[in-house]
Homo-oligomer: A and B are copies of this chain.
Amino acid sequence: MRRLTIAEALREGISEEMRRDETVFCLGEDIGVPGGWGGAFTVTLGLEEEFPERTLNTPIAELGFFGAAVGAAIMGMRPIADVQYGDFLFCAMDQIHSNASMLRYMSGGTVKVPMVMRAPVGATGRGAQHARNMERFFVGVPGIKVVAVSNAYDAKGMLKAAVRDDNPVMIFEHKLLYGSKGARTESGAVDGSCEVPDEDFTVPLDRAAVARDGEQVTVLGWLLMHHFALAAAETLATEGIDAEVIDVRCLSPFDYDTIGRSVRKTGYVVIVEEGPVTGGVGAELAAGITERFGEYLMEPVRRVASPDVPVPFAPVLENAYRPDAERIAEGVRLLLQSH
């Protein structure tokens, strides 16, 4: 076991899968240029050295190369397509939503589309067009699986599971969690590194993870917000509030077994989300939990999310946009007080 950053863990996972299965290949902008950065966040750094023919640097043409990934996938390849920033998924939207997600169904189950998509999300001082949390635009879209990785272990394990899955899988990653180094270090980064085994392993694409056991309230988050939820739980613990913190991790489908177990136990739920509250992933999660476990809820599910605004640039505004540990803790307090 070694401690790896998320960027390193993804890099290792990709390389191992490419070694294991020669139908696996990567494509994306600047992913493997000698002297370059290994994509926007160093994940594919050096990949072109071992796999010169399976590391495809693309032109800036997201619609084109996502579509090409779909086409290659239906012909037996297993592409891993990478956008530099999640926001650019809007450019590729048609190929993802109209082709990748639906070809299997439209073909009556005769075609399969085993492809992986990787997208960094989150507000990081770059202004509105390089900042959005794109999860909401993919959750619930039939035919696509969606996961979000908040630590290196999951990053590697889910990447590998995604590569081996026969469906299109979207992996959301957070810019502040990569642990990208050198010139690509992010200011405000949060540590997503952890011990990662040397042996081959995968992490299932439909299981949430209970990161902290607790009895009084269930706090659900993913990506950066999961880390902040853990920090909030520490604060709350000092106040005598015992929070269970779950890394939702699998966003489509949700793992209602794990979530349900917690809700039945605590009776209180706070969902934490980076991104405008209205129409976010938290909406579905809140509705789904209420439908399934409403009788156990002592109060309506509470959402702690961003206000309904684009991502502002000024640090003072961006920090107010992004929920932090204190806002999460306050959300929990308000929820528990309300009875």
Q: A93-B93, A309-B105 are in contact. Are A278 and B129 (CB under 8 A)?
A: no
Cα-based distance from A290 to B301 in the complex (angstroms): 8
Contact A284 B278 (CB under 8 A): yes
Residues of B within 8 A of A280 (CB): 140, 284
Residues of B within 8 A of A282 (CB): 287
Contact with B along A104-124 (1 / 0, CB 8 A): 011000000000000000000
- In the assembled complex, the CB of A253 is this many whole angstroms from the nearest CB of chain B, namely 8
Cα-based distance from A263 to B140 in the complex (angstroms): 27
Cα-based distance from A170 to B312 in the complex (angstroms): 23
Contact A310 B101 (CB under 8 A): yes
Q: Check A299 for interface membership: any CB of B closer than 8 A.
A: yes
Residues of B within 8 A of A88 (CB): 94
- In the assembled complex, the CB of A322 is this many whole angstroms from the nearest CB of chain B, namely 15
Q: A90-B93, A278-B284, A287-B286 are in contact. Are A140 and B308 (CB under 8 A)?
A: yes
Residues of B within 8 A of A276 (CB): 140-142
Residues of B within 8 A of A91 (CB): 93-94
- In the assembled complex, the CB of A304 is this many whole angstroms from the nearest CB of chain B, namely 12
- In the assembled complex, the CB of A65 is this many whole angstroms from the nearest CB of chain B, namely 15
- In the assembled complex, the CB of A255 is this many whole angstroms from the nearest CB of chain B, namely 14
Copies of the protein in its oligomer: 2
Interface size, chain A (Cβ < 8 Å) = 48
Q: Check A128 for interface membership: any CB of B closer than 8 A.
A: yes
Residues of B within 8 A of A265 (CB): none
Which one, B87, B94, B253, B283, contacts A287 given CB within 8 A? B283
Contact B300 A278 (CB under 8 A): no
Who on chain B is nearest to A105 by CB? B310
Cα-based distance from A138 to B90 in the complex (angstroms): 12
- In the assembled complex, the CB of A128 is this many whole angstroms from the nearest CB of chain B, namely 5
Q: What would 15 A/B residue contacts be, using CB atoms closer than 8 Å?
A: A98-B128, A105-B310, A140-B277, A140-B279, A141-B279, A142-B309, A142-B310, A253-B278, A278-B288, A279-B281, A280-B284, A286-B287, A286-B290, A287-B301, A291-B300
Q: Considering the complex of A and B, which 10 residue pairs feature the smallest CB-CB distances, nearest first?
A: A140-B279, A140-B278, A294-B300, A286-B287, A90-B94, A283-B284, A283-B283, A93-B93, A90-B93, A105-B310
